[in-house]
Amino acid sequence: MKTAIKEYMIKNKSLVVLVVFCIIVSILNPRFLTISNILNILRQTSINSVIAAGMTFVILTGGIDLSVGSILAISGAVAAAMISQGNNEFIAVIAALAIGAALGAFNGLVISKGKIQPFIATLGVMTLVRGYTLVFTDGKPISAGSSEAALKFSNIGAGYFLGIPLPIYIMVLVFGLAYYVLRHTRTGRYVYSLGCNEEATIYSGINTDRIKVLVYTISGFLAALAGIIITARLSSAQPQAGTGYELDAIAAVVLGGTSLAGGIGGIFGTVIGALIIGVLNNSLNLMDVSSYYQLLLKGLVILAAVLLDRKQKK
Amino acid sequence: MGDSIIKMKGVTKEFPGVRALKSVDLNIYKGKIMALLGENGAGKSTLMKILTGVYEKTTGEIILNGKPVQIKNTREAQNMGIAIIHQELNLISNLSIGENIFLGREPINSFGKIDWSKLYKAAKLIMDRLGITERPETLVGELSIGKQQMVEIAKALSLNARVIVMDEPTGALTDKETDSLFRVIKELKAEGRSIVYISHRLKEIFQICDDVTILRDGQFIAEYPINEVNEGKIIELMVGRKLSEQYPRVTCELGETLLEVKNLKNAYVKDINFSIKSGEIVGLAGLMGSGRTELARTLYGVYNKDSGEVIVQGKPVHIKSPGQAIQQGISYVSEDRKGNGVVLGLNVKENISLSVLQKLSGLFGIIDKKKEENAALDSIRGMSIKTSGVKQLVKNLSGGNQQKVSLSKSLMTSPKVLILDEPTRGVDVGAKKEIYDIINQFKKAGMSIIMISSEIPEILGMSDRIMVMHEGRITGCLERQKADQEKIMRLAVGQREVTM
C-alpha cells in the first residue's frame, strides 16, 4: 500500500512540475501549444530520452554511466562510415548497436569484475572512446553520402510515419520496453534489489555481476541507438556529437525522482524528467532567450526540482 | 518508588495509517534502572525515539524534573541530559576513541584548530572512569564490540547525560564483557544517573534492574518494582497469554545423511568434519569469532573453500556462490538481517520470492505476478507474518517479522540443508516461540538443520546434537542427553574433552 502511494506521489510530483510549467509557457507564448511545436519538442527530446532510459537502469542499481555521450559519437561515426563505404543501412545499424552494447558490456565488466567505481570506470571509457572517435573520424564529420542506403538510413532520424517523426516512435517503444522490463521481469526485480542492498541480493543467490554487466550493456546499446538517430537526422556523424549528453540524461533521471543511491524510482519518472528538460529548452528558444541564459536557467530548474523532491520525501 | 526525573504521560504516536503508540506512560526514577520490555513491535523503540528527539510525539506529555518539556530534535534531548546507546552502535570505525567521544563537539583553540591534547586528555579522564584501558588515540575499528559499547557509554557521559537509554546492550557481548558492563551500569546508578534498559534477556533484567515497564502492541501494560514479579509473570504480560513450554522439542526418525563435510579448510576454518542426517537439528555453539558464521558462509558459497569436500546426498559438490548453494539444496538464513538477510527497500512479496524468481517466471523472465503473490500469501499464512499485505515494505516490519520473511525466502528454495545463523537474535519471546515451531516443522519435513546460536539454553533446547567451535575448529560434538551448559562452555573456550 505504502509503496503504491509513495510511488504515486513521486510520479505525480514531477508530473505536476511539468504540467504547471507547460501552462506558464503556453500563457507566455501561444506558439507553444501548437501540434507542430509539440511534435518538435518530442522529437528533440527523443535523443535524451533514449539515453536516459538506459541511464535509469544503471542508476537504479546505484551506478552511473558517463560514457554514453562518447558511445553515441562512435556508433554514429561507424554507421555513417559504413554507409558511405557502400554497406547496407541495415548492417550499418546493427554494427553501430553492437559496438554500443559491447562498450557498455566492457563498462560493466570493469565495474563488476575489476571492482572499479562506476564513476571512474565510465569516466575512463568516456575519454577513451571520445579519443578513439577523434582518431577514427580524423576530427572531421563523416557524411553518409547520397546512396540509396544513405537515404533509407536518414529516414530513421528525419522520416515520418502518419505525420509523426520516426524518432518519437522509437522513444515510445524504448520507454515502453524499459517499463515492462523493470516492472514485470526478473531482470527488473534484480535491478531494484541490487540497488537497495547488494549484499542481501548476493545472499539470495543472485549473480549481481551479471546484472551489472547487463545494465551497462543496455545503457551502451541505447546510447548507440541515440547516436544512430542523430546521425541519421543529419545524414552525417560529428566527432564531437553527444558531448555533455550524459549530464542531460542523468538530470532527466534524477528530475524523475530516481535516487542516485539506487533502488528507488523508475522509468515513468524519467519520461517526465526528459520532457521537463525538453520543454525547458524549447520554451526558452521560443522566447528568444540567449543560449547563455538558457544554461543558467536550466541549472536553476534542475536544482529547484531536486530540492523540492528531497523536501517532500522527508 | 522515589522521585522521577522523567515522566512520559499519555504519549501517542501516529504514523501515516498506523498508530504505533497509544497513550503510553513511562516513569524514569532518579538513580534507578528501569527495564523497558515488550515484544518486537510493542513500541519500545518508538517510545525511546520520542524521548531522544528522533520522532515528535503526536500527543502526550514529557515532564522533566517536574516541568513539561518539548523535545524537538536529538540535540535538544542531549542538552537535557538524555542519551541513547543504540543496538547497532553508531561509532565511526576509522576515527579514534577520543574523536568518537567528542564527535561534533571537539574542543578548538582560538584559530579554530582542534585542540588535540585537550581532547585526548578529556577522553582519557572519562575512559579511566569506565575502566577502558586502551589509549584514546586507538581506532575504534580495532576494538571488540564490548569495548565499543564502553566507548558509546563514554560518549554519553561526556555529554553529562543524566538519563541513558540502552537498547539491547548485551546482544553482542561475551559473558565477561557483560559483567564489566553491569559493573559500569551499577556505578552510573550510584552516581545518581538513571538508566532505561531494553533487553530480551530476562535474566539480565532481574540481575540489574530496579523496576520494569511492560508494553504490548503500542500500549502501556504495567509497571512493577522488579521484586514483585517473576519471569513467568513478565512473559505473560508481554505476550498477553501464557506460554507453554519454551522449547517445543519434537523427535523424529533420522533419515539418510544429507550433508557430509570432510577436512574443510579455508582462511577462516580448519579441519571441519561432520555430517548431518535428514530430520536432525545440529546446534553450532561457540563464542564470538569462533568461526561459526564463517563455516556457515563457506558452506553457502559466500567464502570459497581451499581444500576439503562437501557432499550433499552422497554427491560431492563444488559451491562457489550462494546461487550454486541454493541449487544444491543448501540455504542460509543470515544473522545480519538488515545487512544481508532481507532487502529492506523491497516489499514482503518481492523479498520472499527473490531467491526463486526463476521458478516464478516464464518466457523472457516475465514474472507470473499471480503465482508470486500466492506464494507470498502462503508464506505469510504459514509463518503468521504480521504485515498489512504482500506489498508492505519489509523495512516497516518488526524484527521478528523481518526474520520470518528471511526464513520464508530460504524455505521457498526447498532446501535439504538449512543453516540458521542466530535465528532468534533480536526477536522477542513470543515470536521466538513461533520461530522454534517453524524450525521444528522444517525438521519434521525431513530437512537437515544447522542452528548457530549464542544462547546456550536455545541450543540445548532445540538441538539433537551440539557441535562446539573454537578458533575455526570443531572442538567437540555432544549428544543432547550428555550436553550441558558447562560442557559447552569448556569446549567453546578451547578445552577439548575426551568424553563425547
Contact B165, B218 (CB under 8 A): no
**Does A187 sit within 8 Å of B343, measured CB to CB?**
no
The pLDDT value given to residue A6: 59
Task: Spell out the SS3 assignment of chain B.
Answer: CCCEEEEEEEEEEEECCEEEEEEEEEEEECCCEEEEECCCCCCHHHHHHHHCCCCCCCEEEEEECCEEECCCCHHHHHHCCEEEECCCCCCCCCCEHHHHHCCCCCCECCCCCECHHHHHHHHHHHHHHHCCCCCCCCEHHHCCHHHHHHHHHHHHHHCCCCEEEEECCCCCCCHHHHHHHHHHHHHHHHCCCEEEEECCCHHHHHHHCCEEEEEECCEEEEEEEHHHCCHHHHHHHHHCCCCCCCCCCCCCCCCCEEEEEEEEECCCCCCEEEEEECCCEEEEEECCCCCHHHHHHHHCCCCCCCEEEEEECCEEECCCCHHHHHHCCEEEECCCHHHHHCCCCCEHHHHHHHHHHHHHECHHHEECHHHHHHHHHHHHHHCCCCCCCCCCEHHHCCHHHHHHHHHHHHHHCCCCEEEEECCCCCCCHHHHHHHHHHHHHHHHCCCEEEEECCCHHHHHHHCCEEEEEECCEEEEEEEHHHCCHHHHHHHHCCCCCCCC
The pLDDT value given to residue B105: 83
Q: Chain A residues with CB inside 8 Å of B393's CB?
A: 2-3
Contact A253, A59 (CB under 8 A): yes
Contact A242, A154 (CB under 8 A): no
Contact B243, B429 (CB under 8 A): yes
**Residue that is written with C-alpha cell 558517463 in the block:** A66
Q: Give the separation between CA B227 and CA B205, rounded to whole angstroms.
A: 11
CA distances from A244 to A73, A267, B389, B392 (A): 11, 21, 44, 40
Contact A86, A144 (CB under 8 A): no
Of B323, B344, B366, the CB nearest to A205: B323
Per-residue pLDDT of chain A (314 residues; tens, 9 = 90+): 556 655 565 556 778 888 888 898 889 888 888 999 999 999 999 999 999 999 999 999 999 999 999 999 999 999 999 999 988 889 999 999 999 999 999 999 999 999 999 999 999 999 999 999 999 999 999 988 888 888 889 989 888 999 899 999 999 999 999 999 999 999 999 999 999 999 999 999 999 999 999 999 999 999 999 999 999 999 999 999 999 999 999 999 998 888 888 898 999 999 999 999 999 889 888 888 888 888 898 888 878 877 776 655 54
Q: Chain B residues with CB inside 8 Å of A203's CB?
A: 300, 302, 322, 332, 334, 340-341
Q: Which residue has the higher pLDDT, B492 or B32?
A: B32
Confidence band for B500, pLDDT divided at 50, 70 and 90:
very low
Name every residue whose Cβ is closer than 8 Å to that of residue B44 and which is 6 or more positions away in sequence.
B36, B37, B38, B167, B198, B215
Q: Give the separation between CA B223 and CA B35, rounded to whole angstroms.
A: 9
Kind of pairing between the strands at B448-452 and B281-286: parallel
Report yes or no: A204 at the B interface, CB cutoff 8 Å: yes
Cell, residue B270: 580448519
**Does B354 sit within 8 Å of A201, measured CB to CB?**
yes
What sign does the CA torsion over B76, B78, B84, B85 have? positive
Mean pLDDT across chain B? 88
At residue A233, the 3 state secondary structure works out as helix
Q: Give the separation between CA A58 and CA A108, rounded to whole angstroms.
A: 10
Contact B263, B308 (CB under 8 A): yes
Contact B378, B401 (CB under 8 A): no
**Does B17 sit within 8 Å of A207, measured CB to CB?**
no
Task: Say yes or no to pLDDT of B419 above 70.
Answer: yes
User: b vs e for A253-268, b when ≥16 Cβ sit within 10 Å of the residue's Cβ?
Assistant: bbbbbbbeebbbbbbb
Name every residue whose Cβ is closer than 8 Å to that of residue A202 and which is 6 or more positions away in sequence.
A208, B302, B321, B322, B340
Of B340, B342, B367, the CB nearest to A185: B367
Q: Which residue has the higher pLDDT, B311 or B203?
A: B311
Kind of pairing between the strands at B417-421 and B330-333: parallel
Q: Give the separation between CA B344 and CA B351, rounded to whole angstroms.
A: 9
**Does B345 sit within 8 Å of A201, measured CB to CB?**
no
Residue from A203, A258, A264, A312 whose CB has the most chain B CBs within 10 Å, to mutate: A203
Name every residue whose Cβ is closer than 8 Å to that of residue B128 and which is 6 or more positions away in sequence.
none
Q: Which residue of B has its CA nearest to A4?
A: B391
Cell, residue A17: 512540475
Shortest Cα–Cα distance, B297 to chain A (Å): 9
Q: Give the separation between CA B36 and CA A34, rounded to whole angstroms.
A: 67
Residues B353-376: what's their mean pLDDT?
A: 92
Of B16, B300, B339, the CB nearest to A199: B339
Contact A262, A59 (CB under 8 A): yes
Residues of B with CB under 8 A from a CB of A: 16-17, 300, 302, 321-323, 325-327, 332, 334, 339-347, 350, 354-355, 357-358, 361, 364-367, 369, 388-389, 391-393, 396, 409, 413
**Does B345 sit within 8 Å of A196, measured CB to CB?**
yes
Residues B401-429: what's their mean pLDDT?
A: 90
- Specify burial of residue B227 (Cβ count, 10 A radius: 0-12, 13-18, 19+): exposed
Q: Give the separation between CA A89 and CA A87, rounded to whole angstroms.
A: 6
Report yes or no: A210 at the B interface, CB cutoff 8 Å: no
Q: Chain A residues with CB inside 8 Å of B409's CB?
A: 204
Q: Give the separation between CA A49 and CA B239, rounded to whole angstroms.
A: 55
Residues B410-429: what's their mean pLDDT?
A: 89
Name every residue whose Cβ is closer than 8 Å to that of residue B47 and which is 6 or more positions away in sequence.
B8, B11, B13, B21, B24, B26, B36, B215
What domains are there in chain B, each with its CATH number? 4-239 (3.40.50.300), 257-329+415-492 (3.40.50.300)
The pLDDT value given to residue A314: 42
A207 φ/ψ angles, rounded to the nearest 5 degrees: -80, 95
Identify residue A222 by its one-letter amino acid code: L
Q: Give the separation between CA A80 and CA B147, rounded to whole angstroms.
A: 66
Q: Chain B residues with CB inside 8 Å of A209's CB?
A: none
Contact B215, B45 (CB under 8 A): no
Nearest CA to B452 out of B291, B248, B215, B237 is that of B291
User: b vs e for B246-257, b when ≥16 Cβ sit within 10 Å of the residue's Cβ?
Assistant: eeeeeeeeeeeb
**Residue that is written with C-alpha cell 544473522 in the block:** B335
The pLDDT value given to residue A116: 94
* pLDDT tens digits, one per residue of B268-285: 999 999 999 999 999 999
Q: Chain A residues with CB inside 8 Å of B358's CB?
A: 186
**Does A189 sit within 8 Å of B354, measured CB to CB?**
yes
Report yes or no: A199 at the B interface, CB cutoff 8 Å: yes
**Does A185 sit within 8 Å of B366, measured CB to CB?**
yes
**Does B322 sit within 8 Å of A202, measured CB to CB?**
yes
Largest pairwise CA distance in chain A:
58
Q: Give the separation between CA A194 and CA A188, rounded to whole angstroms.
A: 10
Q: Give the separation between CA B368 and CA B85, rounded to whole angstroms.
A: 45
Q: Give the separation between CA B451 and CA B458, rounded to whole angstroms.
A: 10
Confidence band for B498, pLDDT divided at 50, 70 and 90:
very low
ipTM score for this prediction: 0.84
Kind plus residue range of the DSSP H or E element containing A88: none
What domains are there in chain A, each with its CATH number? 41-313 (1.10.3470)
Report yes or no: A185 at the B interface, CB cutoff 8 Å: yes
Cell, residue A42: 518530442
